């Protein structure tokens, strides 16, 4: 271990931060595509308008999926117990997400194959499902993490999940799902306003304003609910950040409003919910003022703040247990080995900048307004 320049505690913190970066990256980049898909049947009224929306996100949506793949890979490699519990316990919800996401590539490719109104309308609704359903369920998943998942370990450290799909649909989790859907719809509307014109942009602007306002109200309501209606998990034993993994080596108490304790210990964390609320408010103002770039940047900041609020509130927990609080997984007791985290960090330090540079290049090439006229000049358009 002495040959590794970073200690175990530091590497665990770095990978906790990197996991947050990857998840936020997907929410911002993939949220563009999910939001536009969710708006497809409502913002666009004609076939030409819907083709415009498809070509707003069509050239880049596949690349944006890289963030989702990286996030799943980071959970698998950096926090194996978290991967084992969450991917096995929430597998039905993940299958629903996967099936919805599969509709997107199929919809993009098949929609224009037949010039029939019913055929294209069916694929438009498939693309709507592919955008709205994952947006909702991702938020429901975060809500269930805050509530705690029903799992425990036996004496041999085998994980047992005792919940079911319908147990995930608790009122607070559904509220979080609506926050997620609202912020990604606002993101999609901001993209449409920034890259289209005329009635299409105006309809998206109106929907985006209401979605942004709804996100602000629901996010604030969620904060009140966490403060006064949910028991947070608080570690009461001494934690060794450099110890080997053992989720059962700690003691945990349930405290009403305990998820807010980090804000007392680390006052700077209050910046996260402030950025979340301010970002969405600025997005609403930008949409109302018919600005082009500001709403997209503001919504991205709002998404960053909202997701960061959840992550910072839970710290150091990754997945609390609602049935056996002691079994809750934290970054201190659910990570890979010291050497594994270090090697992964070297690989990430090499490839992540390449992904960011490539993504920036692609968006630079694909910049500019998308109109019916531009589509007619492009034989490769959807």
Q: In this structure, are residues 84 and 92 in contact, taking their beta carbons and an 8 Å threshold?
A: no
Cα separation, 228 vs 222, in Å, equals 10
Short-list 218, 219, 213, 190, CA closest to 39: 190
List the pLDDT tens digit at each of the 382 positions of the chain: 457 788 899 999 999 999 999 999 999 999 999 999 999 999 998 988 999 999 888 888 888 888 888 898 899 999 999 998 988 888 888 899 999 999 988 988 888 888 888 999 999 999 999 999 999 999 999 999 999 999 988 888 888 888 777 788 899 999 999 999 999 999 999 999 999 988 999 999 999 999 999 999 999 999 999 999 999 999 999 888 888 888 888 999 999 999 999 999 999 999 999 999 999 999 999 999 989 899 999 999 999 999 999 999 999 999 999 999 999 999 999 999 999 999 999 999 999 899 899 888 888 888 888 888 877 777 777 7
Structure tokens at 79: 């926090």
For residue 156, how many other CB atoms are within 10 A of its CB?
5
Short-list 297, 302, 277, CA closest to 190: 297
Structure tokens at 164: 């079911």
Q: What is the pLDDT of residue 2?
A: 53
For residue 172, how many other CB atoms are within 10 A of its CB?
18
Cα separation, 370 vs 104, in Å, equals 20
Q: What is the pLDDT of residue 294?
A: 94
Q: What is the pLDDT of residue 1?
A: 45
pTM of the predicted protein model: 0.92
Q: Work out whether strand 317-319 and strand 329-330 pair parallel, antiparallel, or are unpaired.
A: antiparallel
Phi, psi values for residue 13, rounded to 5°: -65, -40
């Amino acid at each position: 271990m002495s040959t590794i320049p970073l200690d175990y505690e530091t590497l665990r913190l770095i990978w906790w931060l990197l996991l947050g970066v990857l998840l936020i990256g997907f929410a911002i980049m993939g949220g563009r595509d999910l939001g536009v898909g969710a708006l497809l049947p409502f913002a666009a009224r004609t076939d030409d308008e819907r083709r415009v929306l498809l070509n707003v996100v069509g050239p880049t949506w596949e690349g944006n999926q890289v963030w989702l793949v990286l996030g799943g890979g980071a959970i698998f490699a950096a926090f194996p117990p978290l991967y084992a519990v969450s991917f096995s316990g929430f597998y039905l919800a993940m299958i629903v997400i996967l099936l919805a996401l599969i509709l997107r590539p199929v919809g993009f490719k098949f929609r224009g194959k037949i010039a029939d109104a019913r055929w294209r309308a069916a694929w438009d609704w498939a693309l709507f499902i592919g955008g709205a359903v994952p947006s909702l369920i991702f938020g429901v998943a975060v809500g269930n993490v805050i509530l705690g998942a029903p799992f425990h370990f036996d004496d041999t450290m085998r994980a047992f999940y005792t919940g079911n799909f319908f147990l995930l649909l608790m009122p607070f989790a559904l509220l979080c799902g609506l926050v997620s859907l609202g912020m990604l719809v606002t993101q999609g509307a901001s993209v449409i306003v920034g890259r289209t014109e005329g009635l299409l942009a105006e309809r998206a602007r109106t929907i985006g304003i209401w979605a942004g306002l709804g996100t602000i109200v629901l996010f604030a309501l969620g904060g009140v609910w966490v403060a006064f209606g949910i028991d947070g998990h608080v570690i009461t034993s001494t934690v060794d950040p450099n110890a080997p993994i053992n989720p059962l080596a700690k003691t945990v108490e349930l405290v009403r409003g305990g998820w807010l304790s980090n804000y007392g210990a680390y006052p700077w964390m209050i910046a996260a919910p402030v950025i979340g609320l301010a970002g969405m408010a600025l997005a609403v103002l930008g949409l109302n003022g018919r600005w082009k770039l500001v709403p997209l940047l503001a919504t991205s900041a709002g998404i960053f703040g909202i997701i960061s609020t959840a992550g910072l509130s839970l710290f150091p927990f990754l997945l609390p247990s609602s049935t056996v609080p002691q079994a809750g997984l934290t970054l201190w007791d659910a990570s890979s080995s010291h050497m594994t985290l270090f090697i992964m960090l070297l690989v990430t330090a090499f490839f992540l900048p390449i992904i960011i540079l490539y993504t920036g290049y692609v968006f630079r090439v694909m910049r500019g307004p998308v109109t019916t006229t531009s589509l007619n000049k492009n034989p490769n358009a959807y």
